[in-house]
A and B are shown apart, each in its own frame.
Chain A
Amino acid sequence: MIKHVVAALAFGAIAGYLNNNWGNAVAGNFVSDYLFNASLVLLLFIMGLSFGFDRKSMAKLRKTGFKVLIFPFAVALGSILGGFVSGLVLHINIIASMAVCAGYGWYTVTGPLIIQIFGAELGALGFTVNFIRELLTIITISLMVKFDKYIPIAFGGASTMDTTLPIIVHYCGSDTLITAFSSGFVLTITAPFTIIAIATLK
């Protein structure tokens, strides 16, 4: 499974690059918006179905309830503290590295936002750090699930409500669906606010 996923990612990236730089054969947003959303909506429906089918998953959801919200909170705290520590270690602007990490893997929003607040140099970091986080979540998933099925959810950050969700559910099981989705959902909503809040410290 993961080999096919990585191959598909690489193929898509090359196709996207060629299309964007040598004569737009396909309208870029047709693929990245329309095709992306259509496949994701279909996947969400199918994942929901198998979750509803599964008695154990439903029972577990009832038992856990609102406690699932501890996940995004822990991921946010861990990411921002990670930004603080890496700023210290690498001798870069600590406020900026905290803000960059508060994107929780959502590079399309974090990149432009960091450019606006901290300028192009640190904005490049905002793009790359969050892109790498998303990429590493996907690539390491089959290995990490052997240690603990919640590692990919912590790794994925904001991406666990869309891009990495189907792969997480495939490897970690149907019962992680709500935990992963709600964690990604909360982090996606809070990312822009935490970035701006951290930026006010500068």
Chain B
Amino acid sequence: MLVFIVPLLAGILLGYFLRARKRIGLSGVTFWAIIILMCSLGFSIGSNNELLNSMPRVGLNAIIIALIAMLFSVFFVKVARKMVKVE
């Protein structure tokens, strides 16, 4: 967990203190980092035999359950945002 929080906070603080300076373009780095991230995510999916064997066994049921859970999540987030007035 700390591995993820430290770079995020370091980035925010550094960005905040440097906010008046000239910006450097980071979109190229971001793009390739996302591609590497997705490749390695795909890699761990592809190497996960337990996951690959599970999929055909439960197929359609799993898709339906996932969709219903996602729709309910969206609904509750909408209601919650109205309740506490978060933009």
- B-contacting residues of A (Cβ < 8 Å)? 1, 4-5, 8-21, 28, 31-32, 35-37, 39-55, 58, 60, 64, 67-68, 70-71, 73-75, 77-79, 81-83, 85-86, 89-90, 92, 97, 100-101, 107-108, 111-112, 121, 123-125, 127-133, 136-138, 148, 150-151, 153-155, 157, 161-163, 166-167, 170, 181, 185, 188-189
* The one of B12, B19, B46, B77 that contacts A48, using a Cβ cutoff of 8 Å: B12
The docked-state distance in angstroms from the alpha carbon of A201 to that of B16 is 48
A35 touches B14 (CB 8 A): no
Most buried by B among A54, A71, A133, A154: A154
Among all A-B residue pairs, the 9 with the closest Cβ atoms: A48-B11, A52-B15, A12-B42, A16-B46, A82-B69, A32-B44, A78-B73, A124-B54, A78-B76
B77 touches A154 (CB 8 A): yes
The docked-state distance in angstroms from the alpha carbon of A64 to that of B65 is 32
**Which residues in A have their C-beta under 8 angstroms from that of B81?**
70, 150
Tell me the chain B residues, 34-53 only, with Cβ under 8 Å from chain A. 34-53
Residue of B with least CB distance to A97: B65
B41 touches A36 (CB 8 A): yes
B68 touches A15 (CB 8 A): no
* The one of B3, B35, B55 that contacts A128, using a Cβ cutoff of 8 Å: B55
A-B contact pairs, 27 of them (CB 8 A): A4-B31, A9-B42, A11-B39, A12-B41, A20-B47, A32-B40, A32-B44, A35-B40, A42-B29, A48-B8, A49-B11, A52-B14, A55-B19, A60-B87, A70-B86, A75-B77, A78-B75, A79-B72, A82-B71, A83-B65, A86-B65, A100-B65, A111-B50, A124-B54, A128-B54, A130-B66, A163-B41
Shortest CB–CB separation between residue A195 and chain B, in angstroms?
Answer: 13
* The one of A53, A112, A130, A153 that contacts B77, using a Cβ cutoff of 8 Å: A153
A90 touches B61 (CB 8 A): yes
The docked-state distance in angstroms from the alpha carbon of A75 to that of B26 is 32
B72 touches A78 (CB 8 A): yes
Shortest CB–CB separation between residue A134 and chain B, in angstroms?
Answer: 9
A75 touches B65 (CB 8 A): no
* The one of B35, B37, B42, B61 that contacts A15, using a Cβ cutoff of 8 Å: B42
**Which residues in B have their C-beta under 8 angstroms from that of A9?**
38-39, 41-42, 45
